[in-house]
Amino acid sequence: MSEKIESGQSKGSMEITLDSELVGRRVEADGGTQVGNTNFASRAEFEGVLTGRKIVQGDPPWYWLEIGQLSVKPDDFEDEFVWCEESYVYSLD
């Protein structure tokens, strides 16, 4: 994936950028979160459209992609957008 950064905003060790080549791509993604105060995690499936926003965080860097227009998401997920780690995002186009 080629990187075309149109704008950037730094927040500590995190940089938010916009990659115009990602905008509008239909994707599915696997995600999850910690279950309560346990050592267990849940799995969540998302499907939607990439907004083009990308977070680069940490050293070594982790890459996160923002997905909107969610057509598949967990029943209790109320947000309009989700950030998913790039290696768990798969193109549907």
SS3 (DSSP) at 88 = helix
We report the CATH number of the domain holding residue 10 as 2.30.30
Q: Give dist(CA 23, CA 67) in Å, integer.
A: 10
User: Residue 82: CB partners within 8 Å, gap ≥ 6?
Assistant: 29, 31, 46, 48, 66, 67, 70, 73
The tens digit of pLDDT for each residue in 17-47 reads 999 999 999 999 998 777 889 988 888 999 9
Number of separate domains in the chain: 1
What is the pLDDT confidence band of residue 12, given thresholds at 50, 70 and 90? low
Range of the domain at 76: 5-91
Q: Give dist(CA 92, CA 23) in Å, integer.
A: 13
Residue 42 has what pLDDT? 83
The tens digit of pLDDT for each residue in 46-78 reads 999 999 999 999 989 999 999 999 999 998 889
